[in-house]
Amino acid sequence: MESCAQKDAGKKNDSKSSALKDSFLFYLKKAGGKELKEYEKEDDQLPAVVIAFQSGDSTFVVPETPGVLEECQCAFEEDTLIVVMGVVYMYGTSLYVGKVSKNFSGSSYFASSENPSYRKRTADKWEKEIEVPAKSFTLILSKEYPFRIGETIFGFLEAEYPPFEIKEDDITETMTSKIKAYFACKVDEKIF
């Protein structure tokens, strides 16, 4: 079988890249973020706009907020692009992670705290950290494999994560997350 180049293949990739960038810029503005060039001047870390459609027992048909700005980092480690969005607190973390390689893609929610406060619904023991693989997800990127260190990529992550439990002040709550996120990041060698 013979392969041939498609005349419009570059245009298709450019239009996907442009559409993801335009969507990111639209949601960045809606969430009250700065212009993209202002982020690029200050440092290499670009933001993600995370829109929650479900958090805990609350389901938002139309999210209450236009999205929350969160930190975003990308790294191309070995043969895998890792995208991390979320918040690192002094005493814990709350992160959405997307991974893609030539033969694999996946997403998970990761959280940690100073005290044992998390457990999967099937576990008996409380843990200081938890990783919950997505039960469904979509990850769309402006660039295709392989990724180059230093290039800026735009993307979209939509994911639904199964329930887990969180304990605060002896009150246990079941958490379920369903999100959409539009992001931009500069590909680095490692996640910091």
Report the DSSP pairing between strands 152-168 and 136-141.
antiparallel
Report pLDDT digits (tens) over 158-169.
Answer: 999 998 888 888
51 pLDDT band, cuts 50/70/90, is confident
CA 83-33-188 angle, 5° bins: 25
Q: Of 94, 87, 66, 100, which is closest to residue 180 (Cα–Cα)?
A: 66
Report pLDDT digits (tens) over 37-48.
Answer: 887 777 657 888
pTM above 0.85, yes or no: no
Residue 63's pLDDT is what?
A: 66
**Is 7's pLDDT higher than 50?**
no
Domain spans, the chain: 9-186
Residue 122's pLDDT is what?
A: 76
